[in-house]
Amino acid sequence: MHALTGDSHAAGFYEPSDKQPGWWDIMIGPGKGMDTDRYFVICANVLGGCMGSTGPASVNPATGKPWGSAFPVVTIGDMVAAQKKLVEHLGITRLLSVIGGSVGGMQALEWAVRFPEMVASAVPLATTTKHSAQAIAFNEVARQAILADPAFCGGDYYESGIPAHGLAVARMIGHITYLSDEAMREKFDRRLQDRCDISFDFEADFQVESYLRYQGGKFVDRFDANSFLRMTRAADYFNLEKAWGNDSAVAAFTRATCPFLVVSYTSDWLYPTYQSKAMVQAMKKNGLDVSFVEIEASFGHDAFLLPNERMTKLLQGFLDRVHGSLHEEGGHAL
């Protein structure tokens, strides 16, 4: 399951000329955490995104124009329901594991609770059963940046030109939440960008400013503002406890049956460890088979995307066990 702005290109290169492999190439491939010599890996673009599955930039067959503002706000549940249709279309009745980080982790949790009979295990990484006020607050500021861009035109900008500046600022805010104080200090500190002294104007004096501007600018080329609004909304609205447990996490997980591997990262301030611990607690209270580890990492929320030898072994061991126990159950050729 990909995260907020990911896509179905999870691993490997599509074209020899590609500069970058898929977003989770470190974890997916022969001999990697998700060993493609042993397992078949599916990664689909989420509903409402802009990388393949239907989203606001797709053409509305009724009008022949992009949906734009007419495209509804979808939920994590909607995305998972769409993924289930794909999996069924592929003729698969049970998944060995549903694995995802961040918003992808929300989808993994939703899968385990919504379709327990189809999920043999779930691995939610750096995620939460519901956004904190702080996480919603960051998303709100990011959305406001887009909504306040004059080019936004209420969401129907596909002919007039995209709200590039608003979307870039939204991405800049996102990047702050994906890092951490420590990661920024290590990466940038107060170093200046291509200059010897501060400029006393509003150029990108500091490396961190330059980095954020670069990330923002790059994002505009590949992502749609309407999708960004809806993805962040879906993440804010996600509340597993409310949707499935009448506001109780313990009640929500009564539906789940599979083993879980929950992972958090010490410096993740977007989805801090206490949120992972709370879901682990609810799973334990339901007598579910749950493993949990908080990994020491200084890179903030993004840590789950970075090379980590420990994470590879962890996932291999977990999947191997689940795979073995399925064989004992005697049936599913997964």
Partner 1 sequence: MRFDLQVIASWIEPGSRVLDLGCGRGSLLGHLRDERQVRGTGIERDEDKVLTGIGRGLTVVHGDMNEEVRDYPDNAFDYVILSQALMQVFEAEALIKEMLRVGRRAVVSFPNFSHWRHRLQMLFKGRAPVSRELPYEWFDTPNIRVITLRDFKRFCEMLAIPIRKECAIRTHHHEESGKIVRFKPEIFATYGIYLLGQPGEKP
**Cβ proximity to partner 1, 173 vs 314, nearer residue:** 314
Closest to partner 1 by CB, 256 vs 261, is 261
Choose between 147 and 293: whose C-beta lies nearer to partner 1.
293
Question: Considering beta carbons, is residue 12 or 317 the nearer one to partner 1?
Answer: 317
Min. distance of Cβ 183 from partner 1 in angstroms? 19
The count of chain residues that interact with partner 1, using the rule CB under 8 A, is 25
232 vs 273 by CB, closer to partner 1: 273
Burial class (CB in 10 A: 0-12, 13-18, 19+), 159: exposed
Residue 243 or 290 having the CB closest to partner 1: 290
Q: Using the rule CB under 8 A, which residue among 292, 298, 326, 334 binds partner 1?
A: 292
Catalytic residue (one of 2, 7, 35, 102): 102
Show contacts with partner 1 in window 295-324 (CB under 8 A). Answer: 295-296, 310, 313-314, 316-318, 320-321, 324
The residue from 281, 298, 326, 334 that contacts partner 1 (CB under 8 A) is 281
Residue 268 appears among annotated catalytic residues: yes
293 near partner 1 (CB under 8 A): yes
In this structure, are strands 260-265 and 28-29 parallel, antiparallel, or unpaired? unpaired
Among 176, 215, 284, 326, binds partner 1 (CB under 8 A): 284
Stretch that binds partner 1, among 66-74, 157-165, 199-207, 291-299 (CB under 8 A): 291-299
CB of 115 to partner 1, least distance (A): 23
Applying the rule CB under 8 A, the residues between 242 and 261 that interact with partner 1 are: 259, 261
Which of 78, 203, 209, 289 binds partner 1 (CB under 8 A)? It is 289
Residue 59 exposure: Cα atoms within 13 Å on the Cβ side = 5
Task: Spell out the SS3 assignment of the chain.
Answer: CCCCCCCCCCCCCCCCCCCCCCCCCCCEECCCCEECCCCCCCCCCCCCCCCCCCCCCCEECCCCEECHHHCCCCCHHHHHHHHHHHHHHCCCCCECCEEEECHHHHHHHHHHHHCHHHECCEEEECCCCECCHHHHHHHHHHHHHHHCCHHHHHHCCCCCCCCHHHHHHHHHHHHHHHCCHHHHHHHCCCCECCCCCCCCCCCCCEHHHHHHHHHHHHHHHHCCHHHHHHHHHHHHHCEHHHHHHCCCHHHHHHHCCCCEEEEEECCCCCCCHHHHHHHHHHHHHCCCCEEEEEECCCCHHHHHHCCCHHHHHHHHHHHHHHHHHHHHHCCCCC
Give Cβ neighbours of residue 145 (< 8 Å, ≥ 6 apart): 166, 167, 169, 170, 173
259-278 residues in contact with partner 1 (CB under 8 A) are: 259, 261, 277
7, 165, 301, 302: the catalytic one is: 301
CB of 310 to partner 1, least distance (A): 5
Task: Report, in Å, the least distance between residue 260 CB and partner 1.
Answer: 9
Overall size of the chain counted in residues: 334
Of 229, 290, 303, 305, the one binding partner 1 by CB under 8 A: 290
Catalytic residue ranges = 102, 268, 301
Interface positions with partner 1 (CB under 8 A): 259, 261, 277, 280-281, 284-285, 287, 289-296, 310, 313-314, 316-318, 320-321, 324
